[in-house]
Amino acid sequence: MAVAASVVVAVGTATGTLSALDGGRGFDEAGPAVTRSPSPVPLPAVPSAPVTTKASVSATPAPSPVRTRSPAAAPTRTERKQRSAPVTTLLYRHPDSQVLDWVRSHPDDPRAALIGSRIADRPAAVWFADHTPDTIAARVRAVTSGAAAQGRVPVLVAYAIPDRDCGGASQGGAPDLAAYDAWIDAFAQGLGSGEVVVVLEPDSIAQSDCLPAADRAARFASLARAGRILKAADPRARVYYDAGHSGWNPAAQQAALLREAGAASPDSSDGVFSNVSNFRTTSDEIAYDREVLDALGGPPGLGAVIDTSRNGNGAPPDGQWCDPAGRRIGRAPTLHTGEARIDAYLWVKLPGESDGCKGAPGTFTPSYAYELAR
């Protein structure tokens, strides 16, 4: 059943970048994986893909009813209270991604200029989706040190929780929670001392109902520990927990799960993330995330980050999650949203990496990227 979690399983790491439409303003500089949302009808089968360098695996959730919420008034734009510590204003664009590889190797393709300017040149998250305890610290450090050298903020996605995707196409991760805890310890060693945003385990909380109660409690304890370890290793790290999206669990239900996983504690959390690899509108996510944060409790400084990479036209009316037609890139990634309690708009999913319908799951598909960029 899952969110749409883009899974980049790479020996290096896979990254991506995006441009913004959907009323976006300019972008900060800063990928990718495939995820989906629950659907009221059985989801189509998605071919599985091997876990290889720069290959993503699409998550295929079991059918689940789409939760609808009554329309909410558009949130009032307010200037968010600034954090006490100084913040870097620009996001980091990692110099290695599937889309960059394609643009560099296809300079004469008539689509290359548009894909390059609106996708490849934009900052996006770097996914760490394979359980590689011996190399994870060095790989994380390569990204954070590259960002620090430019005075920019990297966005990292930790995606190695056991029973990932509840046996769907993105199944994988660490073999057990003890191994996962060790992986997180090594991940934390690569953070350095600069600002970094960590998107901690997409789907791990919103999709946890597939686990027996004891296993779910153990997962949540491990997630709470992960946040504490990451923030202790780098006090300037911002760690965000899985809130699903506005069409999934009701806000109060999601907040209760988040609380169990440590998301209300300032020792482990800076707030929540939503809409990863999904298509819900930014206004819907702002309203939903505020509801979640209100129900979550915790210190007033907790905020939310929203994946705006493919939500420029909102979610398709038929609930399709797999490379739906008519979508477009959303608001530009930025750490300055001008919205109360909304810390950032991020491109967590890399536009152009297929969910498994327009191309192999997690692989860059230029025709899809061009459609989104246009």
Tell me the catalytic residues: 165, 203, 355
Token pair of 350 as six digits: 């890399």
Q: Are 343 and 238 in contact (CB under 8 A)?
A: yes
Q: What b/e sequence results for 322-338 when a residue is b if at least 16 CB atoms lie within 10 Å of its CB, and e otherwise? A: bbbeebbbbbbbbbbbe
Helix extents (H) in the chain = 98-105, 112-115, 136-150, 177-189, 213-233, 251-260, 282-296, 366-373
- Reading the block at residue 170, the tokens are 């993105």
What is the distance in angstroms between the CA of the first residue and the CA of the last residue of the chain? 30
Compute how many other C-beta atoms are within 10 angstroms of the C-beta atom of residue 26.
8
Rounded distance between C-alpha atoms, residue 151 and residue 89, angstroms: 9
By the 10 Å C-beta count (0-12 exposed, 13-18 middle, 19+ buried), 80 is classed as middle
Neighbours of 24 (CB within 10 A): 19
Q: Which amino acid is at 57?
A: V
Token duo for residue 70: 């009554």
Beta bridge partners of 8: 56
CA–CA gap between residue 172 and residue 165 (Å, rounded): 8
- Quick check: 321 and 43 in contact, CB under 8 A? yes
Q: Three-class SS of residue 240? A: strand
Residues 6+ apart with CB under 8 A from 351: 16, 18, 119, 309, 310, 329, 368, 369, 372, 373
